[in-house]
Amino acid sequence: MAVLALAAAPAAAQETTPPDTLLLFVASWCAPCHRELRELDAIAAAARPARTLVVAYDDTRATRAMLRNIDANRRWPIDTPARRELRRSLMQRAVGLPYAVLTDHRGEPCATSNQGLTAERARRLQRSCAAGER
């Protein structure tokens, strides 16, 4: 019996993609990503009511340095194997960077962008998600 209880525990604590969240995937070598980070406040305001989090595409020293300038509350750290798997899964739809994913109230992707995000594009993602378009 104890073995069954232990086996079930990880499933209950399974990591999920953050609900109602705009995830901006960035890397130090991505020039449009730097522009997105400079416009992060405007993008985040346009994406409301979703919160906006920045996600490191890679774990290079340069990308880590780039993210040091972003408030910790605005980052989605890829610090567990489960989060690395979620990042990999979310990036399967990307054709490269820049890339952004908006999630619905269940944490399911409801809109994506393969263009550099601006406030207007963030509003369009929000409208698309609200309309139930995929």
Confidence bin at 132 (pLDDT 50/70/90): confident
CA distance linking residue 39 with residue 22, whole number of Å: 14
Confidence bin at 11 (pLDDT 50/70/90): very low
Which letter does DSSP use for residue 109 in this model? E
CA distance linking residue 37 with residue 117, whole number of Å: 10
Inter-residue contact 37 to 100 (CB < 8 Å): no
The number of beta carbons lying within 10 Å of the beta carbon of residue 9 is: 10
Confidence bin at 13 (pLDDT 50/70/90): low
**pLDDT, tens only, 97-123:** 999 999 999 999 999 999 999 999 999
**pLDDT, tens only, 58-83:** 999 999 999 999 999 999 999 999 99
Question: Which of the two residues, 134 and 65, has the higher pLDDT score?
Answer: 65
> What's the pTM?
0.87
Question: How many residues does the structure list for the chain?
Answer: 134
Least confident of 7-11, 30-34, 90-94, 123-127: 7-11
